[in-house]
Amino acid sequence: MSEKNLSEAGTPIKKNFIDLQIEQDLAEGKNNKRVHTRFPPEPNGYLHIGHAKSICLNFGTAEKYGGKTNLRFDDTNPSKEETEYVESIKEDVHWLGFDWEDRLYYASDYFDKLYEFAIQLIKKGKAYVDGQDAGTISSQKGTPTRPGTESPFRNSSVDENLDLFQRMKNGEFNEGAYVLRAKIDMASPNMHMRDPIIYRIMKAYHHRTGDKWCIYPMYDFAHGQSDYWEGITHSICTLEFEVHRPLYDWFIGQLQEADYRPRQIEFARLNLSYTVMSKRKLLELVKDGHVNGWDDPRMPTISGLRRRGYTPESIRNFAEKIGITKVDGMIDVSLLEHSIREHLNKTAQRVMGVLNPLKVVITNYPENQEEELEAVNNPEDESMGKRKVPFSKVLYIEHDDFMEDPPRKFFRLAPGREVRLRYAYFVTCNDVVKDENGQITELHCTCDPASKGGNSPDGRKVKATLHWVSAKHAIKSEVRLYDRLFNDEDPQGHKDIDFKEFMNKDSLKILDECYLEPFVKGAVPFSLFQFERLGYFNIDPDTTGGNMVFNRTVPLRDAWQKQKNK
Ligand code: ATP
Ligand code: MG
């Protein structure tokens, strides 16, 4: 294999069908050997993990071939678009690690040019103004096997059309009174070629052009030309646009100056199990208060994943792992969870934290004594060093780590049993203290001073190692545990049942009395940790002053790895 086919790490770079197409175009010397892609979101919601796949693909492919990538907002529908979305999209693309440099565009940048192009089409007899209502126009469309019916407006004169289109633009008509249609072929087997609407009247304020326009181009009319005017060589898009391709080509063919054609290449969109991905549905969850905003850590949005503790690296690795195909399928959400575990296992600072505290008093440890014990910051990465963890007479352990009357397979703490407290001592439970309701309130244990550091003094073995926190040094925190937002593998795949019916009522659990070792004090929002034995957690931006709030990113148990090892 030649060096060029190896990544920095020396592993072979997998080539997908888009790479192969680009390489063929380069070999043929097309577009002066330029590679130029774009990511074209509509600013009508926050980006989700599906968009991340498209971002990684567009920016990643251009990077591979020394090309460029534009960010272009497809803002042709003013009624659904907001600047808040524009800002969030820019933030998310940057956060993922990609940069459009000075190539930020808006479809609205081309409104004048598109208008001029529409006039040209009318003058060439390739477009006409239709005064029928939407219902009538759609009833004339025909079916894929039956040709459509021509509109009575189809053969109006150029002058009549120019006059009506001008007056549409001047705001003389109500919304819906007239549309401009391309005059192509009402009998085409491709429904998109049956005189598609290219302009409609919308008396809406536009986030960039304000009240300048009351007619707006349709997405299909703006998209291909925007690609062309930006010099895009490869328009990578999802499969549903494959049938629009002939229409895009037809428009470019009508452009007077057209000297090249962006090549459209389609790939299958990402579907994730237990997740809904359409922006309309995500908007519904936000607007109706089913989640706490677009960046709710349960959301599949990039901002939600970021708040949850996902790193850009983990998302890019996920996109790389799933690859691209030409057939729609469903990716198991546990693969996404596997990607963040894989990254955090290598990078996350380990700390000890107790989520459901049970008080432990070490009866043979002096009242006012404290000491600092040495703990490893990350066993996967020695360079992360060690830290000191304070130990004292009163501690917390996890409630689940003790059973008064343990079944045979429970090896953790129980009356009369010895276990190891990680990095600290061997301790033996002697007494169980209960309140008047019979609830366990604390345990009395003794420690073996000769086992300091958690090492066996005489070779004797214990069957469990528990995490713990010194009560007087502990940082009391809130911890939010998340589960999947939906109970069903494909919540939008049920024909007559609304996707919200499948929402998991227990997707958020808040624990408000958790104890963390003091190391976490002062750590800023988005800092990531592994709580030993429990999972990966990050600091939520709701953290204020001394009130720390943590999110559980993922538990340690890796369903994906387990499946693979089977
Ligand atoms: P949604 O269907 O979620 O509302 P959309 O396709 O309307 O998404 P756009 O803003 O138009 O959203 O998408 C921008 C780009 O992201 C498009 O090129 C689109 O093909 C791509 N994209 C959208 N959803 C996915 C997905 N699930 N997987 C891969 N790419 C996607
Ligand atoms: Mg879209």
Closest among 202, 217, 197, 192 to 153, alpha carbons compared: 197
Annotate 208-261 with three-state secondary structure.
Answer: CCECCCCEEECHHHHHHHHHHHCCCCEEEEEHHHHHHHHHHHHHHHHCCCCCCC
Burial of 40 (0-12, 13-18, 19+ CB in 10 A): buried
Residue 42 a catalytic site member: yes
Ligand 1 pocket residue status of 270, Cβ below 6 Å: yes
Provide the CA 263 distance to its chain's centre, in angstroms: 27
Ligand 1 pocket residue status of 194, Cβ below 6 Å: no
Judge contact between 403 and 423, C-beta under 8 A.
Answer: no
Ligand 1 pocket residue status of 315, Cβ below 6 Å: no
Taking only the tens of pLDDT, the chain with its 566 residues reads: 334 444 554 455 679 999 999 999 999 999 999 999 999 999 999 999 999 999 999 999 999 999 999 999 999 999 887 899 999 999 999 999 999 999 999 999 999 999 999 999 999 999 999 999 999 999 999 999 999 999 999 999 999 999 999 999 999 999 999 999 999 999 999 999 999 999 999 999 999 999 999 999 999 999 999 999 999 999 999 999 999 999 999 999 999 777 899 999 999 999 999 999 999 999 999 999 999 999 999 999 999 999 999 999 999 999 999 999 999 999 999 999 999 999 999 999 999 999 999 999 999 999 999 999 999 999 999 999 999 999 999 999 999 999 999 999 999 999 999 999 999 999 999 999 999 999 999 999 999 999 999 999 999 999 999 999 999 999 999 999 999 999 999 999 999 999 999 999 999 999 999 999 999 999 999 999 999 999 999 999 999 988 999 999 999 987 777 777 66
| Residue whose CA lies nearest to ligand 1 atom number 29 | 269
Shared fold status for 279-311+326-349+477-565 and 356-463:
yes
**Could you tell me the distance, in angstroms and rounded to a whole number, from the CA of residue 42 to the centre of ligand 2?**
6
HSE (side-chain half, CA atoms, 13 Å) at 118: 31
According to the model, what pLDDT value does residue 468 have?
A: 98
Judge contact between 535 and 555, C-beta under 8 A.
Answer: yes
pLDDT in tens, 84-127: 999 999 999 999 999 999 999 999 999 999 999 999 999 999 99
| Residue whose CA lies nearest to ligand 1 atom number 2 | 278
Ligand 1 pocket residue status of 38, Cβ below 6 Å: no
Annotate 268-294 with three-state secondary structure.
Answer: CCCCECCCCCCHHHHHHHHHCCCCCCC
Question: Which ligand sits closest to the CA of 284?
Answer: 1
| Residue ranges of domains in the chain | 3-267, 279-311+326-349+477-565, 356-463
Closest among 37, 499, 50, 40 to 268, alpha carbons compared: 50
According to the model, what pLDDT value does residue 157 have?
A: 98
- Choosing from 85, 96, 238 the residue with most ligand 1 atoms within 8 A of its CB, the one to mutate for a pocket test is 238
According to the model, what pLDDT value does residue 12 have?
A: 52
DSSP per position, 83-144: HHHHHHHHHHHHHHT---TT-EEEGGGGHHHHHHHHHHHHHTT-EEEE-S-HHHHHHTS-BT
pLDDT in tens, 372-415: 999 999 999 999 999 999 999 999 999 999 999 999 999 999 99
Residue 269 a catalytic site member: yes
Distance separating the N- and C-terminal Cα atoms of the chain: 33
- Rounded to 5 degrees, φ, ψ at 414 are -155, 165
Torsion of CA 291, 501, 271, 42, to 10 degrees: -50
pLDDT in tens, 331-372: 999 999 999 999 999 999 999 999 999 999 999 999 999 999
According to the model, what pLDDT value does residue 391 have?
A: 98
CATH 2.40.240.10 fits 279-311+326-349+477-565, yes or no: yes
According to the model, what pLDDT value does residue 79 have?
A: 84
Catalytic residue among 194, 279, 350, 420: 279
CATH 3.40.50.620 fits 3-267, yes or no: yes
Tell which atom from ligand 1 comes closest to the C-alpha of 44.
10
Q: In what order do the strands lie in the sheet with 104-106?
A: 36-39, 68-73, 104-106
Structure token pair of residue 539: 């600091």
Class of domain 356-463: mainly beta
Residue 279 a catalytic site member: yes
CA-derived radius of gyration, the chain: 31
Residue type, 111: F
